[in-house]
Amino acid sequence: MSVIKMIVADDQHYVAGELHDSGAQCVYAACSRNPKSLDELDKLLPEFGTDRRLRELFHRSASLELEPLGAGLIVVDLAKKWIFAEVTAFSASRRGGYVRGDNKGEIEYEFSSDWQFVAEAKWFRYLNSANLTPHANRHSGVQYVEISWNDLMKALEERDAQRQKFYEGILENMYLWDKESDKIRAAFADRSRALTEMKPQDAGEETDLQTLERILEEDKKAAIARHRIEMACKELASDPAEFNWLFDHPALKALDKHLAIWQSSQREAEAQSAELRKLRVTERFRAVLQARD
């Protein structure tokens, strides 16, 4: 991939950073929908093939200096509807199209005649004196200060370590026998013990007893998986806001993987239980299971 310097501003705020060509193309195309502000632009991004927000795409912040980087420079003023685009990675023209990164079809875009494409980046020098503030400031409350490179690296490492500890704690808790898990297991243990008190009267009821035991086991798997999913979602909802920018952290990917496993386990257990219920034939055992559902 190529890296592009990109600046997008409205009448109050701006984002500036080093974007890979695919991200820059999505932001560029979304501007064609005439957003009046960076907030509106942010909401348009999913329609143009990215699940990342502006603060994530522009996580490598840069200044408002009009210097190209790598594959070029793009500057967009949403308020004036001015654009300067000089890039080699893709055709940044008035109309165009590209294939979505998730391969779900092609996206086409076209800037209306209200947009003016300027020939030189120098026409945007006024942005430096327009008293614009970084878009991220309004959402995170972060104040930009001068900081040395070493101090910045140290701060990032500390925050990364905090995030690692946070998510590892979630993963560890998912396997602990918490009180709710104990209750689930105890309830199914009581139901299993009740089955041992039933005396099958023939071969049909013997088969039904085995079916009931399998149904209880699948129901228990589904209940535990459902509980783990609820715990994970609750923990994720409590994720400190200052960690959100580390969206690609390995620990978070691990939690996503476990969530997918638990969701799959729940679906499979519920499907197995539903199929097993169709096998019951004896009225006495059917009535017992219905009473316990």
Name the nearest CA neighbour of 72 among 58, 61, 88, 60: 88
pLDDT at 284: 62
pLDDT at 252: 53
pLDDT at 232: 67
Distances (CA, A) of 197 to 189, 192, 193, 280, 286: 13, 9, 7, 18, 16
pLDDT at 282: 62
In order along its 293 residues, the chain shows pLDDT tens digits of 688 999 999 999 999 988 888 899 999 999 999 999 999 999 999 999 888 888 888 866 778 889 888 889 999 999 999 999 999 988 889 999 998 766 678 899 999 999 999 999 999 999 988 888 888 644 444 444 445 566 667 776 776 677 666 666 655 555 555 677 778 888 888 777 777 677 777 777 777 778 778 888 888 888 888 887 777 676 656 555 444 444 444 555 555 666 777 778 788 888 877 877 776 556 666 665 565 55
**74 three-state secondary structure:** strand
Distances (CA, A) of 97 to 25, 86, 158: 9, 17, 41
- Alpha-carbon span 33 to 247, nearest angstrom: 27
Query: Are residues 279 and 221 in contact, defined by beta-carbon separation less than 8 angstroms?
Result: no
Name the nearest CA neighbour of 41 among 3, 78, 4: 78
Query: How many CA atoms, within 13 angstroms, populate the side-chain half-sphere of residue 211?
Result: 21
**152 three-state secondary structure:** helix
- Alpha-carbon span 159 to 157, nearest angstrom: 6
Query: Are residues 48 and 80 in contact, defined by beta-carbon separation less than 8 angstroms?
Result: no
H-assigned helices in the chain: 21-31, 38-44, 54-57, 137-140, 149-173, 179-196, 203-237, 250-277, 283-292
DSSP per-residue codes, 138-151 = HHH--------HHH
Q: Tokens 């476990």 sit at which residue?
A: 258
Distances (CA, A) of 1 to 23, 71, 140, 149: 10, 9, 29, 26
pLDDT at 84: 96
Q: Distance between the two ends of the chain, CA-based, in angstroms? A: 56
Residue 33's φ and ψ, nearest 5 degrees, are -85, 10
Distances (CA, A) of 4 to 1, 21, 72, 74, 121: 10, 6, 5, 8, 14
pLDDT at 187: 83
pLDDT at 247: 44
Torsion of CA 199, 200, 206, 210, to 10 degrees: -30
